Amino acid sequence: MFDIRCLIIEPRTGVDDLKGFWKEATKISRALWYVDEQTCVFCGDEHGPICPTCTDNYLYPDLGRCLGCGKLILVERSHCIDCEAGRGPKYLDQVTAWGHYSGGLREFIQSIKFKAHPRRLMEIARPFSDWAISQLPVVDGVVAVPMHATRLAERGFNQAEVIASALQWELGLEIIPGVERIEPTSSQVPLSRQERLYNLKGAFAVRQPEYLKGRNVWLVDDVTTTGATLEAVAKVLRGSGVQGIYGLCLAAGLDKERDHRRG
């Protein structure tokens, strides 16, 4: 079984200072520990860590992100069609996703999850962390979407915890415990958003609210589609007194309007 502790580093700094301090601190650690990636982690091209072509094809820096669910949207909009219609998450202050769940980014994520390569997340830790601090407010720490013990035993690691560890390494953010997945659930893939929410009802609980009360957090996962999983976790966080909750994922879908115009 993969031991997540091998990727968890003690925080190097606090998080009460501004983003500029984060950036300066990470420059120092990178100079000491990092060797610049010479090839793209998605396509193997010479220009790493992510080449311009993959940046355009999978990360879409020219698009906005729906504040409600994180879907990639037209830059002049603030919310996707679903969130504007009231069908989006209600317990999150903001959600952002690094890129679109397709092509090289999708293959990268699936390689991590289904081929047992969690360490590959460290290959994108730097650009992903830079994206995060450019999009989200400064917070007290990171909460990883938890995995049920049965699934964890099968996979050997929780990819959301590995993402949280990468953010801790890059930004010095505390990983905040206390949330557990207490009920196993069936696959969310074939379900509608309402069905997903029902499927997740009662799946999460906060065992140690003292770690969470009054804090602002980034809630991290690998992929968000409807936002149902983030919403279910955010609901129990709100019930435990968390003040600010900002969803952060590696990938999300495209808004229906953006997808239509794209075609």
User: Is 6 within the bounds of a domain?
Assistant: no
State the pLDDT confidence band at 20, using cuts at 50, 70 and 90. low
Distance CA 188, CA 168 (A): 28
State the pLDDT confidence band at 14, using cuts at 50, 70 and 90. very low
Of the listed ranges 46-60, 192-206, 225-239, 244-258, the least confidently predicted one is 192-206
Q: Which domain holds residue 68?
A: 25-257
Distance CA 137, CA 130 (A): 13
Q: Which residues contact 68 (CB under 8 A, 6 or more apart)?
A: 79, 80, 82, 83, 88, 89, 92, 95, 227
User: Is 13 within the bounds of a domain?
Assistant: no
Cis omega (within 30 of 0) on the bond before 49? yes
Helix H or strand E encompassing 149: helix 149-155
User: Is 66 within the bounds of a domain?
Assistant: yes
What's the pTM value of the predicted model, to 2 decimals?
Answer: 0.83
pLDDT digits (tens, 9 = 90+) for 88-138: 899 999 999 999 999 999 999 999 999 999 999 999 999 999 999 999 999
- pLDDT higher than 80, residue 28: no
User: Is 4 within the bounds of a domain?
Assistant: no
State the pLDDT confidence band at 38, using cuts at 50, 70 and 90. confident
User: Is 1 within the bounds of a domain?
Assistant: no
User: Shortest CA distance to 231 belongs to which of 39, 55, 89?
Assistant: 89
User: Is 3 within the bounds of a domain?
Assistant: no
Give the pLDDT score at 22: 54
Query: Are the C-beta atoms of 64 and 74 separated by less than 8 Å?
Result: yes
User: Shortest CA distance to 136 belongs to which of 34, 246, 25, 23?
Assistant: 246
pLDDT digits (tens, 9 = 90+) for 46-64: 888 999 999 999 999 999 9
CATH of the domain at 214: 3.40.50
Average pLDDT over the chain reads 84
- pLDDT higher than 80, residue 184: no
3-class SS of residue 142: strand
User: Is 51 within the bounds of a domain?
Assistant: yes
User: Is 203 within the bounds of a domain?
Assistant: yes
User: Could you give the number of structural domains in the chain?
Assistant: 1
pLDDT digits (tens, 9 = 90+) for 208-231: 898 899 999 999 999 998 888 999
pLDDT digits (tens, 9 = 90+) for 125-176: 999 999 999 999 999 999 999 999 998 999 999 999 999 999 999 999 999 9
